[in-house]
A and B are shown apart, each in its own frame.
Chain A
Amino acid sequence: MYIIVVGAGKVGYYLVKELLEAPEGHEVLIIELDAAKVERVTQELGDIALRGDGCEAATMEKAGFGRADMVIAVTGDDEDNLVVCQVAKAKFSVPRTVARINNPKNETIFKQLGIDTTVSATAAILAQIEQELPTHPLIPLLRLKGGGLEIVEVKVPQRASVVGKRIGELLLPQQSLITLIVDSDGTPRVPSNDTMIRAEDQVVAVTRRENEDALRAALTNSSSPPGP
């Protein structure tokens, strides 16, 4: 693969270093405006750096964006990373673009504007904190590629209304699927419609992101919602 990285700060530097060491043998180019950073890359990693503004079409042309399989923008500024990826898509039809973002809230607008992947250190650390929090009733474990699905973990409280019910009887939100149950003693069970939910079970489920709250409510609420 021909991979172009824009921005030779710490993230960009270690990224190209890893890419060069990867057994796949990628062709790698890194674009950087700052002469000192270009110098450092060239001295330590070889002749893989191009000095220029990665947001400018002339630099992109010179770098061969037209034949790049992937463009990764990891400068320190979200707006620059956005423009690199948007121009890569619009002008050079790059099949896959990845943008680093500082503000996790920018994920939505970047997705909406056609950036394939966003990576946020802030969001990653937040997710880590969420996983570590023992009191959090629903823990997102993994976001599945595309389709808005994710894998989550819910611990069934002692007094939950689902305790003693079979999975087939449960009213779960749409496109939610219980895929694994781990007993309070740590034994995993592959659930079927007849599997009984017990208190303190750890339920691993696939759900749509927007149904997270509904799924948590279904598995943890202590009494059934009042009827009509």
Chain B
Amino acid sequence: MKVVIMGCGRVGATLATWLDSDGHDVTVIDIRPDAFKRLPTDFKGRRHAGNAIDQDVLARVGLKQADAFVAVTQGDNRNVMATQMAKHLFGVRRTLCRIYDPIREEIYRDLGLETISPTLVGAQLLKDLLDKQPVAADGETEA
């Protein structure tokens, strides 16, 4: 499948690398060209320096032909805006949007976006780990 990823931070670059080695057609957009250093040298996908909340930039990377769009920049609002543009202006069938703020994430999930809040996911993982192997008050592991 053809995937466009917005944001080449740790998550974006890792996801791009995995999808690329699985044989998918990957394009990564980031506003800072420096960010592409996070991609491995044998990355076969496209790197596009530009502002992904500009519809001309999205058109230039061929978003109309994309099967999926993933928004993982540091800014919740940038992700929300780009995802909605991908969905409503370019008709991308699968769009994923990262939103750190859990309240905002809930609002946009209710508005029909496929969202993920790393804040909730991370906190839940940590809590599950603690719950699975609780530590008693005296420092002894419970039987």
Contact = CB atoms under 8 A, between A and B. Distances in A.
Interface residues of A, number: 21
A122 to B, nearest CB: 13
Contacts of B128: none
25 contacts: A55-B104, A56-B103, A57-B104, A58-B103, A78-B53, A78-B81, A79-B75, A79-B77, A79-B78, A79-B80, A79-B81, A80-B77, A83-B80, A83-B81, A83-B104, A86-B80, A86-B107, A86-B111, A87-B107, A90-B107, A91-B107, A103-B54, A105-B55, A106-B55, A109-B81
Given A79-B78, A106-B55, A112-B89, 13 more contacts: A55-B76, A56-B101, A57-B103, A78-B81, A79-B80, A80-B77, A82-B77, A86-B80, A86-B107, A90-B110, A91-B107, A109-B84, A109-B88
Nearest to A103: B54
8 smallest beta-carbon distances between A and B, as pairs: A79-B81, A79-B77, A57-B103, A83-B77, A79-B78, A80-B77, A82-B81, A109-B85
Q: Is the interface of A mostly helix, strand, loop or mixed?
A: helix
Interface of A: 55-58, 77-80, 82-83, 86-87, 90-91, 103, 105-106, 108-109, 112-113
Contacts of A112: 88-89
A108 B55 CA distance: 11
Q: Is the interface of B mostly helix, strand, loop or mixed?
A: helix
Interface of B: 53-56, 75-78, 80-81, 84-85, 88-89, 101, 103-104, 107, 110-111
Contacts of B101: 55-56
A105 B85 CA distance: 12
